[in-house]
Amino acid sequence: MTDGRSTPAGRRRLVLFGPPGSGKGTQAQLLGAQTGQHHLATGDILRAERAQGTALGARVGGYMDRGELVPDEVIISVMAAHLQGLERRGFVFDGFPRTVAQAEALDSMLAAIRRPLQAVVVLEVPAEVLERRLLGRAEVEGRSDDTPETVRTRMRIYQESTAAVLAYYSARLPVVRIDGDRPVALVHRAVLQAVGISMPDPG
């Protein structure tokens, strides 16, 4: 078992895992910008499909607006298409996998290109903080799935599926838990440290 510390930062292969509102999108983006790892966010990919009015976008819209998971076979085929080119790059998955079926599918897709995952980073944030953040974000960004009812559904689904996904990974990979209830820059440093990427002192 290797956590990839000997792999150059830009080529490391990670999953960033955490509840809705935990800041995994922000952290995955910061990490990708810092290291050159490719940042793949399923929520962003699906929202772009909807914005472009594609058939896929139409298919997933209802699930997203209700805060439910898009069916595994749909999300797995979307991600299969986005894995092209990852043979040569490191990556951070954000929002995927969310179920054991997705984790298994990802493992076999990555095994086929000989680029297995190296670590999973989990952002932990108390439920009441998440709720406050998501409802605050709704006012600023106007995301159609940040209403109180959808937020509750997304949190419930996360809680229902998390344990199984983390158990799946804990048996296979280093799973590093980080306190996400801190300022963005501090969480970023903790993420870098967790995956063994050194960063210059802010000075």
Does 75 interact with ligand ADP (rule: CB under 6 A)?
yes
Q: Which residues, numbered 4-23, are part of the site for ligand ADP (CB under 6 A)?
A: 20-21
Q: Which is nearer to ligand ADP, 69 or 197 (CB)?
A: 69
Q: How many CB atoms lie within 10 A of CB 185?
A: 10
30-38, 93-101, 109-117, 164-172 -> range binding ligand ADP (CB under 6 A): 93-101
**Least distance to ligand ADP, CB of residue 203, Å:** 34
Task: Let me know if 160 is exposed, middle or buried by CB neighbors in 10 A (0-12, 13-18, 19+).
Answer: exposed
Residue type at 31?
A: L
Answer for which of 15, 69, 165, 191 binds ligand ADP (CB under 6 A) is 69
Q: Does 180 bind ligand ADP (CB under 6 A)?
A: no
CA distance linking residue 22 with residue 33, whole number of Å: 19
Q: Applying CB under 6 A, which part among 7-15, 48-56, 69-77, 167-175 lies near ligand ADP?
A: 69-77
d(CA 63, CA 36): 32
Is 114 a residue of the active site? no
Annotated active-site residue in 13, 98, 115, 133: 98
Is 137 annotated in the active site?
A: yes
Give yes or no for residue 151 binding ligand ADP (CB under 6 A).
no
Contact pattern for ligand ADP over residues 98 through 137, marking x by CB under 6 A: x---x-----------------------------------
Cis peptide before 8 (omega within 30 of 0): no
Q: Is 154 a catalytic residue?
A: yes
Residues belonging to the active site? 24, 98, 137, 143, 154
Residues that bind ligand ADP (CB under 6 A): 20-21, 42-43, 46, 63-64, 67-70, 75, 95-98, 102, 145, 154
